A and B are shown apart, each in its own frame.
Chain A
Amino acid sequence: MGGAVVMPSRRRLAWGKRAGLIAGGAIVGLVLLVAILAPWITPHDPFAQALDNRLSVPFWMEGAKPGHLLGTDGLGRDYLSRLIYGARISMLIGLLTVVTSGIIGTTLGVLGGFFGGRVDDAVLFAITCRLAIPVVLVALAVVGLLGSSLTLVILVLGLLLWDRFAVVARSTTMQVRNLDYVAAAWAAGMSTPAILVKEILPNIASHLAVVATLEVALAILLEAALSFLGLGVPPPLPSWGLMIAEGKDYMFFSPWVIWIPGIALFVLVFGINLLGDGLRDLLGAGDTR
Chain B
Amino acid sequence: MLRFALRRFVVALLVALTVMVLSFMLTRLSGDLAISIAGASATQADVEIIRKAYGLDRPLVLQFLEWIGRAALGDFGESFFFKARTADLIKERMPITLTLGLTGLILALLVSIPLGILAAVRENTWVDRLVQVIAMVGQAMPSFWLGLILMITLGLQLGWLPISGTGGPEHYVMPGIVLAFSAIPALTRLTRAGMIQALGSDYIRTARAKGLSRLSILGKHALRNAAIPVVSIAAVQLGFMLGGSIVIETVFALHGVGFLAWESISKNDFPVVQAVVLVLALIYIALTMAADLLNALLDPRLRAA
> Which residues of A does B touch, CB under 8 Å?
1-3, 6-9, 12-13, 16, 125, 128-129, 131-138, 140-142, 144-146, 217, 221, 224-225, 228-231, 241, 244, 248, 251-252, 255, 258-259, 262, 265-266, 269-270, 273-274, 277, 289
Contacts and interface: CB of A to CB of B under 8 A. Distances in A.
Given A145-B26, A224-B144, A241-B144, 13 more contacts: A129-B15, A133-B277, A134-B284, A136-B244, A138-B26, A140-B265, A142-B29, A244-B144, A252-B152, A266-B142, A270-B137, A270-B140, A273-B139
A265 B122 CA distance: 32
Given A16-B129, A129-B15, A137-B277, A144 B144 contact: no
Given A141-B26, A251-B148, A270-B136, A132 B262 contact: no
A59 to B, nearest CB: 21
Given A258-B149, A270-B137, A221 B142 contact: yes
Given A125-B14, A128-B11, A244 B148 contact: yes
Nearest to A147: B30
Given A129-B18, A138-B26, A289-B189, A225 B243 contact: no
Nearest to B132: A277
Contacts of A136: 243-244, 246-247
Contacts of B26: 138, 141-142, 145
B232 interface: no
A286 to B, nearest CB: 12
A255 B150 CA distance: 11
Given A138-B26, A229-B250, A128 B124 contact: no
B123 interface: yes
Q: Is the interface of B mostly helix, strand, loop or mixed?
A: helix
A129 B284 CA distance: 10
What 10 pairs across the A-B complex have the smallest Cβ distances? Answer: A134-B243, A8-B124, A270-B140, A144-B265, A262-B145, A269-B140, A145-B30, A129-B18, A132-B281, A134-B280
Contacts of B14: 125
Contact of B29 (A7, A145, A244): A145
B15 A125 contact: yes
Contact of B265 (A2, A3, A231): A231
B127 to A, nearest CB: 10
B44 to A, nearest CB: 22
Chain B interface extent, by class: 35 or more
B265 A141 contact: yes
18 contacts: A125-B18, A129-B22, A131-B284, A132-B284, A134-B244, A134-B246, A136-B243, A137-B276, A137-B277, A140-B246, A141-B26, A225-B247, A228-B144, A229-B247, A230-B266, A269-B142, A274-B136, A289-B189
Interface in B273-298: 273, 276-277, 280-281, 284-285, 288
Contacts of B29: 142, 145-146
B217 interface: yes
Interface of B: 11, 14-16, 18-19, 22, 26-27, 29-30, 36, 121-126, 129, 136-137, 139-145, 148-149, 151-152, 156, 186, 189, 199, 208, 214, 217-218, 242-244, 246-247, 250, 258, 261-262, 265-266, 268, 273, 276-277, 280-281, 284-285, 288
A6 B15 contact: no
B208 A141 contact: no
A31 B55 CA distance: 52
A138 B277 CA distance: 7
A116 B260 CA distance: 42
A270 B136 CA distance: 7
B142 A265 contact: yes
A259 B273 CA distance: 32
Contact of B243 (A3, A13, A125, A135): A135
Contacts of B186: 289
Contacts of B189: 289
A258 B153 CA distance: 13
A273 B136 contact: yes
Contacts of A252: 152, 156
Contacts of A265: 142, 145
A277 B136 contact: yes
A138 B144 CA distance: 18
Contacts of B22: 129, 133
A8 B152 CA distance: 42
A9 B125 CA distance: 8
B145 A1 contact: no
A135 B22 CA distance: 13
Contacts of B145: 224, 228, 244, 258, 262, 265-266
Contacts of A230: 266
A234 B177 CA distance: 29
Contacts of A7: 124
Which of A1, A221, A269 has most chain B Cβ within 10 Å?
Answer: A1
B12 to A, nearest CB: 9
Contact of A225 (B16, B30, B121, B144): B144
Contact of A266 (B141, B217, B243, B288): B141
Contacts of A251: 148, 151-152
Contact of B19 (A2, A132, A146, A244): A132
